[in-house]
A and B are shown apart, each in its own frame.
Chain A
Amino acid sequence: MDLTSRTAGDVLVLAPAGRLDHESVDAFRAAVQHRLDGAFAAGQAVLFDLSALEYVSSAGLRCFMLAAKQANAQNGRVAVAAARPVVAEILEISRFNMVFRVYPAMQEALAALSPEPAAAPPGRG
């Protein structure tokens, strides 16, 4: 499986592609870890873009859970978004949608993870 990353505002977007299963999970975990460390240290939220993920196993889901635990420990934020129908069903069957922030679309997720816009300065009359 492949992993690409990009930044959208204050959100680090990580996009795994292919199958995340017991064969690929160790490499995925290692590839994600240092990006998480950097993002949370810099105050960035992390969003997993699942639009190119074809399958995720229990071990793969555990990686997302570990990311969430790390976010909690470091006062960070993490979510997943844009899962394909098969992966979306797996998230639902495994009840990840009950313990994890899951968004159907990237735009909605990015809006939710982005910091609140600063209040406009008061007008001068």
Chain B
Amino acid sequence: MRVRFWGTRGSIPVSLTWRDMRDRLVRALVLAAPHHLDSAEKAQGFIAKHFEFSLSHTFGGHSACVELEPAVHGKEGADAGPYFVCDMGSGARAFGEHVLARQAGRPATVNVFMSHVHWDHIMGFPFFRPAYRPEYRLRIHGCHEELEHAFRRQQDPPSFPVPFSALGAAIEFVRLAPGETHEIDGLKVTPMLQLHSGDSYGYRFEGGGRSVVYTTDSEHKLEEAGESEKYAFFFRDADLVIFDAMYSLADAISVKADWGHSSNVIGVELCQLAGAKRLALFHHEPANDDQALARILEETRRLEELTREGEPLEIIAAYDGLEIEL
């Protein structure tokens, strides 16, 4: 199973400013000055060896959109797809371009799984170009009663100029029952109710001997004795847990309690309890720049070391454009 992160930011998209870019260029030029980098190859090698992540990369700023490509799928050409994607945040625009390029006019089905319908999770849909093309079939899965209404409403005036009825794709909304496992185009999909304003749902995907849990916009109150065990069962032995780590633990349980999000610390604890193999920090706080996110990643890895009792848990921080092969 391959996982592609098209949008990883929480709440609202962000981007680097010109000042951010200039500051990076200054740091890079100063670092490189003594090294006579007179070819692209030398420069690439120097960057790989000497630049920290927050200088050579950016975590990016698109809101939530994560593609899963089961191993049995993903062939190039006519057999590509069906596609699986979690949430339609602003990252869905680039995901749509990827689908169009790969299909090159051939028909395909795109299975969408919605955690919930807050704006940052649906805002990319009006710019998801396969929705405008008749050769596509979109099946938008979710557990919320208002799922279809939310998608239709954001296309209506005065919010957007193209009404939902003008979309060319065959679009179907599929209500899933939480707690039940559904077979969808070869994947087993199990939604679970989470704590968030208006409710959200996590998804456990299983197929080809691999499992991925997508759990965003989920607050953990730490009040009920069985809460950790419930989530640990949902995450059990997962190859990858994509986890809402928006806030520090201190903020999540004090000044930002009831805001509907979680922290890196709780992600580590639940994944360790569950025996998960890899934790991807996700739904990054928009106020955190690349250096802050890189620091949080290092601290989370240190926490995992400090608290490890069994097999190591690999910690990564998701970023726009990251691909993981499980």
Contact = CB atoms under 8 A, between A and B. Distances in A.
Interface string B222-251: 100100100000000000000000001111
Contact of B249 (A26, A55, A58, A86): A58
Contacts of B264: 93
A26 B300 CA distance: 26
A58 B266 contact: yes
Nearest to A22: B228
Contacts of A90: 265, 303, 306-307
Contacts of A93: 264-265, 299-300, 302-303
Given A89-B302, A89-B306, A90-B303, A96 B250 contact: yes
Contacts of A113: none
Nearest to B299: A93
A99 B250 contact: yes
A19 B228 CA distance: 17
Contacts of A58: 220, 222, 249, 253, 263, 265-266, 269
B254 interface: yes
A73 to B, nearest CB: 14
A26 B302 CA distance: 27
A121 B299 CA distance: 52
Interface in A39-61: 55, 57-59, 61
A65 interface: yes
A35 interface: no
A119 interface: no
B253 A65 contact: yes
Contacts of A95: 248-251
B255 interface: yes
B40 to A, nearest CB: 39
B250 to A, nearest CB: 4
**A interface bracket (residues with beta carbon within 8 Å of B):** 20 to 34
Interface string A62-104: 1001001100000000000000001001101111101110000
Nearest to A87: B306
Contacts, number: 59
B235 to A, nearest CB: 15
Contacts of A65: 250, 253-254
A22 B232 CA distance: 13
Contacts of A59: 222, 228
A49 B325 CA distance: 46
Interface size class of B (residues with CB under 8 A): 20 to 34
Nearest to B300: A93
B248 A98 contact: yes
Interface in B33-85: none
Contacts of A62: 222, 253
A65 B255 CA distance: 11
A90 B266 CA distance: 12
A94 B248 contact: yes
A11 B300 CA distance: 34
A61 B263 CA distance: 13
Given A65-B253, A93-B299, A55 B248 contact: no
B269 A99 contact: no
Nearest to A94: B249
A95 B246 CA distance: 13
A93 B225 CA distance: 24
Nearest to A91: B250
28 contacts: A22-B225, A55-B307, A58-B220, A58-B253, A58-B266, A58-B269, A59-B228, A61-B249, A65-B253, A86-B306, A89-B302, A89-B303, A89-B306, A90-B265, A93-B265, A93-B299, A93-B300, A93-B302, A93-B303, A94-B249, A94-B250, A95-B249, A95-B250, A95-B251, A96-B249, A96-B250, A98-B250, A99-B251
Interface of A: 22, 26, 55, 57-59, 61-62, 65, 68-69, 86, 89-90, 92-96, 98-100
| For the complex of A and B, 6 pairs with smallest distance between CB atoms | A95-B248, A94-B249, A95-B250, A93-B299, A59-B222, A99-B250
